[in-house]
Structure 1
Amino acid sequence: METGFLQLFLVSLIEKLPQLLWAILVFVAGFFVAKWMGNTAVRFLNKTNLNQTLKRLGWAETLAKLDLSLDAPGFFGELVKWFFIIIFLMISLEILGLPQFSQFLGKVISYFQNIFIASLIFIIAVFLADFSQKIMVAVLEKEKITYSRLFGRVIRWIIWSLATLAILYQLQIAPTLILTVFIGFVIAISLTIGIAFGLGGKEIAAKILKELEKKLR
């Protein structure tokens, strides 16, 4: 009985051997491709000075409190690498005739797309927040406008708040709630600005407008 089972197993293994070899070859080749793609992503992001920009925005100190080091290019490089590893693993499982596992990995890859888009939103927000704050402060300080640095910080935090909501929505984390919060946040900002210029911040707004008027004369 045991001999018959062993013979059946060996025959099945020999029949599947070409598929097994192809699956291993595809996965090994895919692993090196994934590693190369990850390293390429790291080199590209290093050229953009992403880490330096994050340090200027205070991310290094925040992560240090959590005993984490700042390495944004390395993090995104790992995402890229694992994305391609999963793709080649899915192909290997298809070769072996295991569609259930490959279908599961297909769902994982679909969610990876959301992670990539969320990562892209984060990277854009990093540079947009830094650039907007610098421009706002530089322009207002050049014109000797009061509260220039305050306005710079406000612009930066508005961008980060909107980006955070967009990232959570993209990751499908309570999307209905996030969309509601996003709309409410935009309305709140609009009302705050309106109230600031209409009531509570009337004197500040008048002072800023008066300074601008003097500069434009």
Structure 2
Amino acid sequence: MTAFTRRSDSTRRSMPKPGSWLRDVVYVKSRQGQAGFAGFVRKMGVKKDAAVFLADLGKWFIRLIVLVVAFDALGLPAVSDVLRQLLLWLPNLIVAMVVLILGGLVAEAASSLVRGATAEAGFDNPERLAKLASVAVWAFAVVIAVNQIGVAATLVNTLFMGLVGALALALGLAFGLGGRETAAEIVKKWYEQGKQAAPKIAEAGDRLDAKVKDQAASLKPSPR
């Protein structure tokens, strides 16, 4: 009786407490809201809460395991093979969802960092730059997630490279058009400094030439 009681106590201690899993659920719900994952799920057309959506994924994962075992027991290997392939693909989907959640957190951090840095530096549009940083991080996370799932990975990679190229071209044009006057002033300043320094350089060259000639004359042997 004592051994049974001891085993029951150890089993009870190893089981998760209601408060702990409730705390974990609340934490996940709060973080997925901050990461923007809830909005991403809503844009996908899913009307459920993001935490409920993740819970449903786990539930269907367990159901598929049970169905594979059941169809194997019934002697239907064709159906069980299809379900097994789907079961092997689901972890990729879960990893992709985790990548999107982490991407949302990183996008939020990058947006706050860029907003604070640009506001401190005196930029006129810190909100636009912060939004641009967030979109860039989200695009990178989506590319990684799509590659993990394996759905049209080549097409998405091509589109992402095109987006990066267009962004670089837009930044180059913005700098070229917006900083044209500043660049002209810098070049003009360099030109004026060069004009002022040219006579001094020529004078120093003449002095050096005369000094070399004097040294050469002093080293020339005198006639006997």
Moved more, 110-119 or 136-145: 136-145
Alignment identity in percent? 23
Q: Given the two structures, how large is their TM-score scaled by the length of structure 2?
A: 0.59
**One-letter amino acid of the counterpart of residue 154, structure 1:** L
Residues of 2 paired with 1:58 and 1:112: CA distance?
Answer: 20
In structure 2, which of residues 140, 143, 146 is the aligned counterpart of residue 165 of structure 1?
Answer: 143
**One-letter amino acid of the counterpart of residue 172, structure 2:** G
Contact 1:140 1:148 in 2 (8 A): yes
Q: Secondary structure at the match of 1:173?
A: coil
Q: Secondary structure at the match of 1:78?
A: helix
Unaligned runs of at least 5 residues, structure 2: 1-15, 184-224
Residues of 2 paired with 1:142 and 1:45: CA distance?
Answer: 37
For 2:34, the equivalent position in structure 1 comes to 53
Larger radius of gyration, structure 1 or 2? 2
Q: Cα offset for 1:53?
A: 1.0
Matched, 1:133 2:111: yes
Q: Cα offset for 1:176?
A: 2.3
**One-letter amino acid of the counterpart of residue 31, structure 2:** L
Residues of 1 paired with 2:23 and 2:182: CA distance?
Answer: 46
Deviations 1:130-186 (A, max 9, x none): 111111112332344332221101101112223333333433332222221122222
For 1:200, the equivalent position in structure 2 comes to 177
Higher relative contact order (CA 8 A, sep 6+): 1
Q: 1:184 to 1:42 in 2, by over 3 A?
A: farther
Q: Cα offset for 1:123?
A: 0.6
Residues of 2 paired with 1:120 and 1:178: CA distance?
Answer: 19
Q: 1:129 to 1:195 in 2, by over 3 A?
A: same
Residues of 2 paired with 1:179 and 1:111: CA distance?
Answer: 21
**One-letter amino acid of the counterpart of residue 130, structure 1:** E
Q: Cα offset for 1:42?
A: 8.9
Residues of 1 paired with 2:88 and 2:159: CA distance?
Answer: 25
Deviations 1:17-75 (A, max 9, x none): xxxxxxxxxxxxxxxxxxx9xxx9996463142343156x9929x949x6935x21111
Matches within 5 A, 1:1-217: 44=24, 46-48=26-28, 49-54=30-35, 59=39, 63=42, 68=47, 71-197=49-175, 199-202=176-179
Unaligned runs of at least 5 residues, structure 1: 1-35, 207-217
Q: Given the two structures, how large is their TM-score scaled by the length of structure 1?
A: 0.61
- Paired positions, count: 163
Deviations 1:109-141 (A, max 9, x none): 122122112211211121111111111112332
